[in-house]
Structure 1
Amino acid sequence: MDIDRRLIPRNKFDFETVELLKKQPPEKLIPALPQLFEWIQDINWPIARDIAKILASCGRDSLTEIKKILRTTDEDWKLWCLTDVVSELPKDLIVDLQPELEKIAYAPTRGEKVNELDAEARQILSCFSN
């Protein structure tokens, strides 16, 4: 599938593209997901939280990119992915991320521990014990 370049924000203030993204059915966003996930590398960018909501609304289609991010060494990106995308997914989708979440929660790297990703992963996993 080709990426519709109109769906990729041009800068961190590109609210016009964010509004266009909000109007798209999730399946139209699939080819652009890798580029859209890059916009949550810094959740302080003005469009980042809106993009995170859009990514969470893509549901199952986002899982491949989420798994890739959770396997990186970019702790900030992983944290934003957990707090702003994964935590917003339905439980039946989060279960597909259980191996990655358990690794971070119970065998975190030093960086994951320092950045408290282990606590965030445990919080997300706790939804299965309720």
Structure 2
Amino acid sequence: MFDAESLVPRDKHDITALSAIESAGYPAIAPILDDLLAWTADGNWPIARPLARFLVTLGTPIVDPLLRVLRGKDSSQKYFCFQLIVEKLSVEVLRALENDLQRLVDRPSKTDQLEGVDELAREALQRLHS
């Protein structure tokens, strides 16, 4: 029996996990999408950028995990979520985030403002409406 949990990177340097994740693909990795997204929380981690590039390719299945990040309290993770994933999403997938993007523009928390999350959300909305 396949254990998706075994695919979750063990640490921020676990680049070798990426090939197994890509090979398994979606929907096999569906149960661990939140765990995988957590490894993109800091764009300075070696695993973050290549994993983010893969997550962008998933399209619609990444929406719910992204919404959980955008609705969360970790402004730094939101910042990297925008930098590594949201800005690279297709307009069709981005459209599913529109209400939360608007909320981040209209009612950002203090820490979201300090991290520039509100500005990144504004840029994403502009891309959506251009």
| Corresponding residue number in structure 2 for 1:48 | 48
Deviates more, 1:20-29 or 1:57-66: 20-29
Identity in percent = 26
Q: Which amino acid aligns with 2:12?
A: K
* Residue aligned with 2:50, SS: helix
Question: Is contact 1:3–1:31 with CA below 8 Å preserved after alignment?
Answer: no
CA RMSD of aligned residues (A): 1.4
Question: Is contact 2:41–2:77 with CA below 8 Å preserved after alignment?
Answer: yes
Cα drift, residue 3 of structure 1 = 4.5
Question: Is contact 1:40–1:81 with CA below 8 Å preserved after alignment?
Answer: yes
Task: Go from structure 1 to structure 2 and tell me whether the alpha carbon gap of 1:101 and 1:20 turns closer, same or farther (over 3 Å shift).
Answer: same
| Corresponding residue number in structure 2 for 1:101 | 101
Gaps of 5+ in 1: none
| Corresponding residue number in structure 2 for 1:123 | 123
Q: Which amino acid aligns with 2:69?
A: I
Question: Is contact 1:6–1:17 with CA below 8 Å preserved after alignment?
Answer: no
Runs of 4+ in 1 over 2 A off after TM superposition: 22-26
What is the correspondence of 1:1-130 to structure 2 with a 5 Å cutoff? 3-130=3-130
Measured against aligned partners, the alpha-carbon deviations of 1:44-83 in whole angstroms (never above 9, x if no partner) come to: 1111111111111111111111111111110010111112
Gaps of 5+ in 2: none
Which one has a larger percent helix, Structure 1 or Structure 2? Answer: 1
Task: Go from structure 1 to structure 2 and tell me whether the alpha carbon gap of 1:32 and 1:3 turns closer, same or farther (over 3 Å shift).
Answer: farther
* Matched pairs, number: 129
Task: Please give the TM-score of this superposition, normalised by the length of structure 2.
Answer: 0.91
Task: Please give the TM-score of this superposition, normalised by the length of structure 1.
Answer: 0.91
